[in-house]
Amino acid sequence: MNTTKKDSWNAKLYDERHSFVSKYGSDVIELLSPQPGERILDLGCGTGDIAKKLFDIGVHVIGTDKSENMIEQAKAKYPEVTFLVKDAISLDYDNVFNAVFSNATLHWVQPPEKAIAGIYNSLIHGGRFVAEFGGKGNVQVITNEVIKQIKACGIEYHEENYPWYYPSIGEYSTLMESVGFRVVYASHFNRPTPLEGTDGLKNWINMFGNSLFDGVNQDRKDFIIANVENALKPILFKDGRWEADYKRIRFVGVKE
């Protein structure tokens, strides 16, 4: 997780209502194919669930996240695992890791070039970079409606409040290749994602899209979110629960 503003991550809400982030990350672990004894950096580890899985199979794992709230929660849950507060664009490792793994983080990280260069430098020769994050078009239905409803309330929307970076395969592969990675796998796919509870969409917006409302007071924010729910219910509310329009992107790069 990576934001440019103060740490507003609610680690408890993240664990209680957004556990799907870690559950889907298990699929990416298969791409990583971690081996006992390997040194692996979990970049943007959140509250530590995937780092713990790596630890349990004998990996020497370090989990890092920019959010102090997330790291505090991770340390409380898994005191046996090493967790550090560290920004993805400020990595200072040099030829340390067999692999860098990142799940649901790099769409928060800008400028992406700085993160990719730091990841490359962190790896030993032949090391691998395995990542999944939001790709082009991710949650576009949701965010377009939020922005539409903000404007409908007569509030000026500022582009700089949009916190995410959702690249295409071509865009991100080019950045990886520019620092020396050989991209050996890339995929961009739809992954409709169920959100827990009847307040699932509201919780998602409060958890991940809070910066869209910078400068908006709580009453108006609640009003806007209610309008978003009403507008999107025919599209994204299915079988008694909300479903987010996720589009994910996966990469495997090798340091040569």
φ/ψ region of 97 (left if φ > 0, alpha if ψ in -120 to 50, else beta) reads beta
3-class state of residue 117 by DSSP: helix
pLDDT digits (tens, 9 = 90+) for 136-149: 999 999 999 999 99
Question: Residue 9 pLDDT > 60, yes or no?
Answer: no
State the average pLDDT over residues 161-168: 97
CA distance 212 to 76: 30
State the average pLDDT over residues 194-221: 93
pTM above 0.85, yes or no: yes
Please state which architecture CATH assigns to domain 11-139+163-195+244-255.
3-Layer(aba) Sandwich (3.40)
User: For residue 24, what are the contacts with CB-CB under 8 A and spacing of at least 6?
Assistant: 103, 104, 132, 191, 193
Question: Residue 36 pLDDT > 70, yes or no?
Answer: yes
Q: Give the pLDDT band of residue 185 (cuts 50, 70, 90).
A: very high
Q: What is the arrangement of strands in the sheet containing 237-238, beginning at the earlier edge strand?
A: 193-195, 241-244, 237-238
115 in Cβ contact with 106 (< 8 Å): yes
Tokens of 14: 């993240």
pLDDT of residue 197: 86
Among the listed residues 94, 95, 74, 99, the one whose alpha carbon sits nearest the alpha carbon of residue 84: 74
Q: Give the pLDDT band of residue 25 (cuts 50, 70, 90).
A: low
Q: Give the pLDDT band of residue 18 (cuts 50, 70, 90).
A: very low
CA distance 123 to 105: 18
pLDDT digits (tens, 9 = 90+) for 67-103: 999 999 999 999 999 999 999 999 999 999 999 999 9
Side-chain-side CA neighbours of 63 within 13 Å: the count stands at 30
Q: Which residue has the higher pLDDT, 11 or 33?
A: 33
Q: Which residue has the higher pLDDT, 187 or 16?
A: 187
Tokens of 144: 């377009």
